Structure 1
């Protein structure tokens, strides 16, 4: 049996809820960006820069980025725990699964730091 030690919500119900909430945030952000692109009269660097100069757009973008990371983490954790199991690889599966999860977490942290740097120029 696989324990949920590295699961985001520590239970299937919370993971399910987190994925649904993050999916709603991501679809709202997608509609916002696509709507801006198609409804903008003068879509270019100036309008795009003016849009992202507004603090609420930066915050919304950061929330969308964090939602992407949470959503992806739960999905990838599920896939990793399903495909790298003790039955498949004997006793070595726990170490391999932990290595894969640490690598995925490192990539997620790098993406968040990079996104904050892009949004706020930190």
Structure 2
């Protein structure tokens, strides 16, 4: 978390989590609303659901914010419950690695 320069301030973490949670809820409500308006019944419908560029961009931003939220949460969990400096760093590295893998999977699924 020191790399992202938010490890020093609990207030910054709190604000970032609240903003990211708001974005995640808004995106989820948008997806649920769009699914009610146009139900997805097969793969072709799902592909057309994700085909607009604005929706791909919004999904990409939401996934990046979701992963940032996960990294911050992992850092907080490690600080509270994981004892030992080496294990703590390994746990944080694992959280960052999982978040990056989620972004790579999203790019592959949405854009390619």
TM-score calculated relative to the size of structure 2? 0.86
CA distance in 1, matches of 2:3, 2:92: 8
CA distance in 2, matches of 1:31, 1:8: 31
**Runs of 5+ consecutive residues of structure 2 not aligned to the other structure:** none
CA distance in 1, matches of 2:26, 2:64: 14
Q: CA deviation at 1:21?
A: 0.9
Tell which structure's C-alpha radius of gyration is larger: 1
Query: Are 1:9 and 2:14 counterparts?
Result: no
CA distance in 2, matches of 1:64, 1:12: 23
Q: Judging changes above 3 Å, is the alpha-carbon distance between structure 1 residues 68 and 111 closer, same or farther for their aligned structure 2 residues?
A: same
> Residue in 2 aligned with 1:26?
24
Pairs aligned (count): 110
Query: What is the 5 A alignment of 1:51-62?
Result: 51-62=49-60
Q: CA deviation at 1:8?
A: 5.9
> Residue in 1 aligned with 2:41?
44
**Runs of 5+ consecutive residues of structure 1 not aligned to the other structure:** 86-92
CA distance in 2, matches of 1:82, 1:5: 16
TM-score calculated relative to the size of structure 1? 0.80
CA distance in 1, matches of 2:99, 2:68: 9
> Residue in 2 aligned with 1:115?
106
Q: Judging changes above 3 Å, is the alpha-carbon distance between structure 1 residues 115 and 94 closer, same or farther for their aligned structure 2 residues?
A: same
Deviations 1:10-39 (A, max 9, x none): 311111111111111101111111111112
